[in-house]
Chains A and B, each alone.
Chain A
């Protein structure tokens, strides 16, 4: 027990901060992009829909290392786009926190997109029609009718996105690397300490991660559960 406490006292909390920050930012970006993409795809013609849906879902189906490979191809300073970003805007993606965010966003985005899309597709189209015949603008219909009605689906998409972004490992390790205090996320930390044979520290991190995950899902369930009681669906 004392050994555990000692580990806890001397723990470097930076991986947690980095992971949480990455998770929040990646979820924030995915939330809006996912909803935007879902809305566009739903309205597209069947052919465009099939292609767009495939592309947008791909990062979820591929191994994260494959996504990491492509991200490196795009953002490496030795590649045209990465070089362009670096020379013109002084933006560096590889081995930076920005890389963490991009990797987590790319991997977690499909969860938000697919959940939002499924939620939108279940909405009674007559609700949208009713809004139109009542003179409501498309934007107003979307934010006051569609989004609240799709609320539970959007919420669960957000939870899953956050969870996935929080735990991202493969693409992050390739794009952002594992620089302690800078890009060293919790999942990378766990992998690293285990390689060193330090199971005690790994165990502490595992417990922290499980607690966070559980608390988030529990809170979200309470929020969506409250709403579900009064909302009837057909």
Chain B
């Protein structure tokens, strides 16, 4: 079980050159819009022509340019969940689910009935997609895919069209519905929460190429690349000068950091998550940044401070408990960096 993909595609100025191998059952691809992640997914499904490449899923070769193999999408057994679900608008829920099932009429009926129960669509069988809510449409689309018994399921930004409340619930629901599925699922998204919740293995994509990959938790803990850190939600990324094995200088923040542990040999940037700053009210200590408050944004569950130091601005996010302390004591004298929480980046 696993996938091996190598696709090349020139699209005007844009060049897709994705290369990935994975044996995980739940793979996430994280990248900004336009980085080529949807294109990669479509290439796997066979609905996007590629210039050159190799695509293999579960030992089935879909594309091999060298051997001139290029299977039709109909022969790939790939389930594709489109961003807008792409339900057939003139077909009822039942007909939509039945669309991909082969075999005799009796077999089709029983399989469809099974899916309707499993995806809680009883009572909606004769509705048209236009009469369903976003969540129901998504369940129909998933049921249609599952009824087809695909080898791999591709989810293309499945939650991007939904509002916040619905999104959280549907993500949970989708995880439950997919839990039994034994095949490979690939989720493409620009949302780090979705990816984190869903995937075992994470690939980060940047302008048409795979930047890095690894176990999801590991990539989030140690993104290694500047762009990867940004995509995993790190707000502060700054250039540094390594001084020796235990210290480096951040000119933009006007400070020098001393680390008790040995620093990695090779890094030009560090990332520091906006929630990890420690406010200090009393005398100077090491690893501190002096700052001026520039602006403040008040959110329901946190306060976001945008502060400036020597050069680059710093985002400092404060959650409720700490904010109470801030209100009592006023602005701290400086912000302290915890060396253990620094992300060392290339």
**Which residues of A approach B to under 8 Å, CB–CB?**
124, 126-127, 129-137, 144-145, 148-149, 151, 227, 230-234
Contact = CB atoms under 8 A, between A and B. Distances in A.
Given A144-B99, A231-B130, A234-B84, 9 more contacts: A129-B45, A129-B47, A130-B82, A132-B73, A133-B74, A145-B91, A231-B128, A232-B89, A232-B128
B99 A136 contact: yes
A144 B95 CA distance: 10
B78 interface: yes
A131 B148 CA distance: 11
Contacts of A126: 82-84, 86
Interface of B: 42, 45-47, 72-80, 82-84, 86-91, 99-100, 102, 128-131, 144-145, 148
Contacts of A151: 90
Contacts of A145: 88, 90-91
Contact of B80 (A130, A137, A144, A149): A130
Nearest to B82: A126
A84 B84 CA distance: 56
B82 to A, nearest CB: 5
Contact of A130 (B77, B86, B90): B86
20 contacts: A124-B84, A126-B82, A126-B86, A127-B88, A129-B47, A129-B73, A130-B86, A131-B99, A132-B72, A133-B46, A133-B78, A136-B74, A137-B74, A144-B91, A145-B91, A149-B90, A230-B128, A231-B90, A232-B89, A233-B89
Nearest to B148: A134
A124 B86 contact: yes
A228 to B, nearest CB: 10
Contacts of B83: 126
Q: Of B42, B79, B86, B91, which is in contact with the most chain A CB atoms at under 10 Å from its CB?
A: B86
B47 A134 contact: no
Contacts of B91: 144-145, 148
Chain A binding surface SS class: helix
Contacts of A231: 89-90, 128, 130
A134 B101 CA distance: 8
A230 to B, nearest CB: 5
Contacts of A132: 46-47, 72-74
Contacts of B72: 132
Contacts of A130: 80, 82, 86-88
A227 to B, nearest CB: 8
B131 A134 contact: no
Contacts of B75: 135
Given A149-B89, A231-B90, A232-B130, A133 B73 contact: yes
A231 B91 CA distance: 9
B147 to A, nearest CB: 9
A232 B129 CA distance: 8
Given A231-B128, A232-B130, A133 B89 contact: no
A227 B89 CA distance: 11
A67 B229 CA distance: 68
Nearest to A131: B99
Contacts of B131: 230, 232
Contacts of B76: 133
Nearest to A145: B88
Sorted nearest first, the 10 A-B pairs with minimum C-beta distance are A232-B130, A134-B100, A130-B86, A148-B90, A126-B86, A132-B73, A129-B47, A133-B80, A126-B82, A135-B74
B141 to A, nearest CB: 8
Nearest to A151: B90
A26 B99 CA distance: 34
